[in-house]
Amino acid sequence: MPLLIPQLPKGPYYGILAEFGTPADLYHACERVRDAGFTRWDAHTPFPVHGLEGAMGLRRSPLPWIVLVMGLMGAAAGFGLQWWVHARAYPLVISGKPYLTWPAFIPITFEVAILFAALGAVLGMLGLNRLPMHHHPLFQSRVFERVTDDAFFISIESWDPRFDPAATGKMLESLGARSVELLES
């Protein structure tokens, strides 16, 4: 199940938040957390860190497929509209050309395809990311305010089967965390 669907926590805690100093520290820590078998966890960075998806073991995003489908639908819609208007609804002989003048239909077909594809990309991305989500338990942490500035974090949610308030925290410290915080749900 995707991580970002909210679920009922196990107990009073949301999870643990650990801060790291550099992208390199975070990268190595993520590899260890992934190898340790955690599933309900995430890393947080102020900018996309190169290769971190691999270190976390994430699968490729399905977004390109969503965009392709939307693009094809857009092309069909654009061409369909023009065909219907010029060959069906109100056919007119314009500059002596036939009704179904496909060369002249290409520009708009292309533009509508791009429009649908772009909408697919943006709405698809927001949907896959479960955005907007203005409230999240992580925001209660004061340290977390720097996630959009220069701090790097790993958060492990309490409903991960391997989560344990004490042991998980110690493990993260051993991986080089600057600070570890237990968050209420």
Q: Scan residues 107-166 and list those touching other proteins (CB under 8 A).
A: 107-108, 110-112, 114-115, 117-119, 121-122, 124-126, 128-129, 131-136, 138-139, 144-150, 153
SS3 63: helix
| Cα 40 from Cα 49, distance rounded (Å) | 20
**Structural contact between residues 153 and 17, judged by C-beta atoms closer than 8 angstroms:** yes
Q: Which of 69, 73, 76, 81 binds other proteins (CB under 8 A)?
A: 81
Q: C-beta of 7: minimal distance to other proteins in Å? A: 15
Stretch 51-80 residues interacting with other proteins (CB under 8 A) = 51-53, 55-56, 58, 61, 63-64, 67-68
Place of tokens 């915080």: 181
Nearer to other proteins, 149 or 166 (CB): 149
| 85 touches other proteins by CB under 8 A | yes
| Cα 10 from Cα 120, distance rounded (Å) | 36
Identify the bridge partners of residue 182 per DSSP, sorted by sequence position: 16
